[in-house]
Structure 1
């Protein structure tokens, strides 16, 4: 654990103006450990990543002892690529990587393998929303067999999804997982509920979502005026252990709209997922010393 004496003195001096003694304790703890080095990789189709990366960086750095670096590709196609992934050691300078890509049609196996190898070798990941629908090829509408040519991304995530429903609010309820400790059930604004083609045995549910959905409009057929909405349910947040080192992976399929990404409840969930993935969250759900703010 590295210790910055000058940093400690500056931060402690600021606490003398605060009547809250907890400020002193938290400041000393935070100064005694280096911030988590978080990398966000974002870009691709269908989302306002320019805004969402700013919301994520600000929200994370306000909540936990972390320093966030953002790599953003303004390419809005499903073929967005990231130069950082062209290097075998792309993740070596970071404690955890947030995958916020929407690159459904990027399917070159060597490129995807370089991404996955960092996580196989022990770098934790947090996967957000359209990351679940990235780097896919073959018949991804059906459960992909273990070890298949197109299985690697799903094996890392720990859940396979192929599509989502219409945008409408999702009722989110939590399990008793450590990440969920202290979090309350909530209803999102209009959001997309991603389906679950397969939930891997290595995964553990953190949150489930329910959404009322109207029947999908069928091609070349009129809309049924008497159609009634039905309730759909899916896992919306979960953990996984990936590869020989059992690297910790946290994912949530929530996060389509800016109002969701900027919601305190969403940012709290992401930060707790970051802490869990980096072994900075105890089994009772408390952040390790020095990592909360």
Structure 2
């Protein structure tokens, strides 16, 4: 009897001890990301596919695309007309260029989803979108207010927070010809990760180019980099965006993230 009980307990303990290993080895459920692209001044038709492929190659993420062929600053997305537009998604990547869309209800629909806890990633011209007259609503969400950019010249990128989970393994680099956005205001909740330095030919500009933010209940990652398609396709850019996305979802770990510097 004693021997049988001992064998039973040994088997039971062995089974329990094995459970964490099984759980750790199991693949996590992919995050559901919504990528919104379109509007003025950029090659969104190609960039949307580069972003989807690059993110999915680097992380356990399924990217759904919503794209408009409208290339004006007044491009709108019908999904934002619905207050429940973000239902079913774990994170949203805003890659719009729609500075002249200033409908308060429309913008509130976007912001309320994030204020209530939906993580976000903002890319490049998203920082120049939804400029509500006399209000800082959108800028508070992205974390930094910007109003213009410099010439198309290389940007020297330096990570200034080397201990942050997003930037810790990333290397400084110099882009091809790119646009460096200015910083009119850095909001209190924004935490700079990287700065960009650009020789304009008339002087040297130096601004924050990547940062994190807290907006309501949501974690937000933003970068002003990514005007040109060659930059968007750069493995270093895709590494940065992917790590920012996973951080915003609190999933920047070995289960969700693949090795760095895979092909775009």
TM > 0.5? yes
Residue in structure 2 matched with residue 53 of structure 1 by the alignment? 48
* Match status 1:292 vs 2:257: yes
TM-score w.r.t. length of structure 2: 0.86
| Secondary structure of 1:189 counterpart | strand
Residue 31 of structure 1: how far off its partner (Å) = 4.7
Instruction: Please tell me the root mean square deviation across aligned C-alpha atoms, in Å.
Output: 1.4
CA spacing shift, 1:30–1:86, aligned 2, 3 Å: farther
Secondary structure of the structure 1 residue equivalent to 2:154 = coil
1:182 corresponds to 2:169: yes
Match of 2:262 in 1: none
- Equivalents in 1 of 2:25, 2:110: separation in Å? 31
Cross-structure match for 1:169: 154
| Cα separation, 2, equivalents of 1:239 and 1:250 | 5
In the alignment, what sits opposite 1:278? 249
Inter-CA distance 212–292: structure 2 relative to 1 (3 Å threshold): same
The answer on whether the counterparts of 2:99 and 2:131 sit within 8 Å (CA) in structure 1 is yes
CA contact (8 A) 1:204 1:240 kept: yes
Q: Which has the larger radius of gyration?
A: 2
CA contact (8 A) 1:88 1:114 kept: yes
TM alignment of 1:74-153, pairs within 5 A: 74-138=69-133, 150-153=135-138
1:138 Cα offset (Å): 2.4
Residue 30 of structure 1 contacts residue 291 of structure 1 at CA under 8 Å; is this kept in 2?
Answer: no
In the other structure, the counterpart of 2:199 is 212
Q: How far apart are the structure 2 equivalents of 1:230 and 1:194? A: 15
| Partner of residue 17, structure 2 | none
1:46–1:102 CA contact under 8 A, matched in 2: yes
Q: Relative to total residues, which structure has the larger strand share, 1 or 2? A: 2
Q: Structure 1 unaligned segments of length 5 or more: list them.
A: 1-27, 140-149, 215-228, 282-286
Report SS of the residue matched to 2:95.
strand
Report the CA distance between 1:32 and its aligned residue: 3.1
The two structures have a TM-score, normalised by structure 1, of 0.78
Long gaps (5+) in structure 2: 1-22, 259-264
- C-alpha contact (below 8 Å) 1:155/1:200 kept by paired residues: yes
Question: 2:178 corresponds to which residue?
Answer: 191
Distance in structure 2 (CA, Å) of the matches to 1:59 and 1:45: 23
